Amino acid sequence: MRRNAEIASLLEEYADRLEAQGVDYKHRTYRRAAESIRDAPEDIAELAAEGPEGVQRLQDVGESISKKVVEAVETGTFEQLEEAREELPVEMAELTSVEGVGPKTVGDLYRALGVRDLDELENAAREGEIQEVSGFGQKTEQNILDGIQFAKQSQGRELLGDARPVGEAALDFFEAIPEAGRCELAGSLRRWKPTIGDIDVLVASEDRQAVIDAFTDWQLADEVIEAGTDKASVRSNGQRVDLRVVVPAEFGSALQYFTGSKEHNIRFRNYAIERGYKVNEYGIFDVSDVENPDEGQRVGERVAGETEDGMYEALDLPPIPPEIREDRGEITAAASGDLPDLLAEGDIRGDLHVHTNWSDGELTIRGMVEAAAEFGHDYVSICDHATGPGMVGGVGLDDEELREQLAEIRDLDDDLPIEVFAGVEANIDAEGAISVADDLLADLDCVVASPHSGLEGDGTDRILAAVEHPSVDVVGHPSGRLIHQRPGLELDVDEIARAAADHDTALEVNSNPHRLDLWGSAVKQAVEEGATIAIDTDAHSAPEYGYVRYGVHTARRGWAEADDVLNARDADGVRAFLH
């Protein structure tokens, strides 16, 4: 069984503890080693079997760390980590999940107040003890208190962007098993929810035991949580993967049931009951001639079960895409023929918000443009950060630098493989003002304006001001939320969307898995009010262009059609909108 994730977490915990003890630099070495081990294609246990030299073949793993890794593989921990745990007996991962609480804060609060876990942190904050600690104040204490509530909600849930690759790896694995028939992801992952409690996988097979046995031996399984005759759960990369194996004749009904949402299923079942049918994970049954339909699971005449489309068809409904199965009117819409024709991944033609090394991106302008072309885009809009509120460490460009960049983009223009729009990501300040001079904004092709500071409380007026600004084309990540880290601004999405429709300003679905901002229900409100959506990745490197699928499926959760989406248009269509 592969143990790379487990070993990497031990090194990261040790890094946190070094930082908590105020040790400079060294923790970074451990973090780099942890990342290298987690991402390595090699099995860390196999390398460790060759001794420290074997482990050192990995990038960023030196002699002293390699010895600890060998010890950790053999014993589940290493001596220095145990010492550090004794010295600072705190729940490090739990505490650092609170926004604004890093390892250093954990160390400080343990030494000053003896805080060891989330409950003790909450008590200390409620009692007003934290503001008395040197270096902390009343505001910090309040922030910690808010952060705790938020951290509690997100405990045990993974980002879609972390869960999806694990689910897809599981799917690839099952598709290669000879005994396995059809395989699909189910649950929240198939609905592309922003956070995932556990990963559900469904496999059809006549030989269930063979599939279960293969799964418990899966190379990427770090731990087997449970294994039965028709289901099993393992942990992979820190995430729980639930497998259910069903007979092929019931694959469709099981897929419909285990995709959820629970609310959709309840609505679906009631719709069926009203029409004389019984629905469960084993099929749809005509029970009009059955005296007691509640006696047993498979009663009456089976009318569907093998395919999921057949489940909806049996009730005279068209198939309903998984992303909209959230009980937001989808069954009524399906019954009346009003389901949206949802945007597809292939509809996206370009990216309107990406960064280069002029601000905090990794690549040059040309590099980022070529990567967009490689990805298959017809156009890209370079929108580096402007200086202003929320930009720290000299990341943002001032007006003069933006002018220089604009000139460089105009000079490059002719020999680039795709259309390039020169833009900026400007900051929306607390009053809703934009941090770049008006004449410069007017000269740029594409102005994205985003909130980066003061991301608390009601932000409707700020965002409205940006929407109404004559030069703003797109409002970037409108709420500024960071999933699991901060809730972001409260917004009256209806009002903002109406203004956006009036002023021809697009509202962004930021595809970064930490953001997904706007999110499904907000997108639904926005498109209902006639607003245009831009699905951007905010990429800071070439691989991040791949985030676009998270944005597309988020927009699908909001019932968006290709017509609602700016960058589903061709370059001419986009240019017309930007002018």
Q: Which parts of this chain interact with Ca ion (CB under 5 A)? A: 187-188, 198, 200, 242
Residues of this chain, 410-449, that bind Zn ion according to CB under 5 A: 425
The single residue listed with the structure tokens 């890794």 is: 69
Min dist. Cβ of residue 505 to ligand DGT (A): 33
CA quadruple 113, 114, 116, 119: dihedral, nearest 10? -50
Min dist. Cβ of residue 332 to ligand DGT (A): 18
Q: Out of 508, 538, 544, 564, point to the residue binding Zn ion (CB under 5 A).
A: 538
Closer residue to ligand DGT, CB minimum distance, 195 or 510: 195
Closer residue to Ca ion, CB minimum distance, 170 or 380: 170
Cβ contacts of 267 within 8 Å, gap of 6 or more = 327, 331
Query: Judged by CB under 6 A, does residue 258 bind ligand DGT?
Result: yes
Q: What is the 3-state secondary structure (H, E, C) of 95-162?
A: HHCCCCCCHHHHHHHHHHHCCCCHHHHHHHHHCCCHHHCCCCCHHHHHHHHHHHHHHHHHCCCEEHHH
Min dist. Cβ of residue 280 to ligand DGT (A): 9
Query: Judged by CB under 6 A, does residue 280 bind ligand DGT?
Result: no
Q: Over the Cα atoms of the chain, what is R_g?
A: 26
Min dist. Cβ of residue 90 to ligand DGT (A): 28
In the complex, residue closest to ligand DGT by CB: 260
Min dist. Cβ of residue 135 to ligand DGT (A): 38
Q: Which of 556, 557, 549 is nearest to 513 (CA)?
A: 549
Query: Judged by CB under 6 A, does residue 155 bind ligand DGT?
Result: no
Choose from Zn ion, ligand DGT, Ca ion, none: what does 262 bind? Cβ within 5-8 Å by kind. ligand DGT
Burial (CB count <10 Å: 0-12, 13-18, 19+), residue 469: buried
Closer residue to Ca ion, CB minimum distance, 198 or 508: 198
Cβ contacts of 530 within 8 Å, gap of 6 or more = 497, 498, 501
Min dist. Cβ of residue 355 to Zn ion (A): 6
Query: Judged by CB under 6 A, does residue 131 bind ligand DGT?
Result: no
Query: Judged by CB under 6 A, does residue 261 bind ligand DGT?
Result: yes
Query: Judged by CB under 6 A, does residue 152 bind ligand DGT?
Result: no
The interface mask with Zn ion, positions 469-508, x = CB under 5 A, is: ----------------------------------------
Query: Judged by CB under 6 A, does residue 538 bind ligand DGT?
Result: no
State the DSSP code for 346.
Answer: G
The interface mask with Zn ion, positions 4-33, x = CB under 5 A, is: ------------------------------
Query: Judged by CB under 6 A, does residue 330 bind ligand DGT?
Result: no
Q: How far apart are CA 424 and CA 565, in angstroms?
A: 20
The single residue listed with the structure tokens 């269509």 is: 573
Min dist. Cβ of residue 188 to ligand DGT (A): 3
Choose from Ca ion, ligand DGT, Zn ion, none: what does 473 bind? Cβ within 5-8 Å by kind. none
Closer residue to ligand DGT, CB minimum distance, 216 or 261: 261
Closer residue to Ca ion, CB minimum distance, 188 or 359: 188
Residues of this chain, 182-221, that bind ligand DGT according to CB under 6 A: 187-188, 193, 196-198, 200
Query: Judged by CB under 6 A, does residue 265 bind ligand DGT?
Result: yes
Query: Judged by CB under 6 A, does residue 253 bind ligand DGT?
Result: no
State the DSSP code for 561.
Answer: B
Query: Judged by CB under 6 A, does residue 102 bind ligand DGT?
Result: no
Q: Give the pair of three-digit tokens for residue 441.
A: 């904004």
Q: Out of 26, 28, 111, 262, point to the residue binding ligand DGT (CB under 6 A).
A: 262
Task: Please give the helix or strand (H or E) that residue 284 lies within, else none.
Answer: strand 283-286
Burial (CB count <10 Å: 0-12, 13-18, 19+), residue 153: exposed
Min dist. Cβ of residue 526 to ligand DGT (A): 24
Q: Which of 547, 511, 573, 542 is nearest to 366 (CA)?
A: 542
Q: Give the pair of three-digit tokens for residue 16.
A: 């946190």
Q: Give the pair of three-digit tokens for residue 153.
A: 């909600």
In the complex, residue closest to Ca ion by CB: 187
Q: How far apart are CA 231 and CA 278, in angstroms?
A: 24
Q: Specify the 3-state DSSP secondary structure of 439.
A: helix
Residue type (1 letter), 195? T
Min dist. Cβ of residue 161 to ligand DGT (A): 14
Cis amide linkage into residue 491, ω under 30° from 0: no
Choose from Ca ion, ligand DGT, Zn ion, none: what does 266 bind? Cβ within 5-8 Å by kind. ligand DGT
Q: Which of 99, 94, 145, 92 is nearest to 482 (CA)?
A: 99
Closer residue to Zn ion, CB minimum distance, 173 or 545: 545
Long-range contacts of 23-30 (CB under 8 A, 24+ apart): 27/103, 29/60, 29/62, 29/65, 30/65
Query: Judged by CB under 6 A, does residue 266 bind ligand DGT?
Result: yes
Min dist. Cβ of residue 193 to Ca ion (A): 9
Q: Which residues bind Zn ion (CB under 5 A)?
A: 425, 538
Q: Which residues bind ligand DGT (CB under 6 A)?
A: 187-188, 193, 196-198, 200, 257-258, 260-262, 265-266
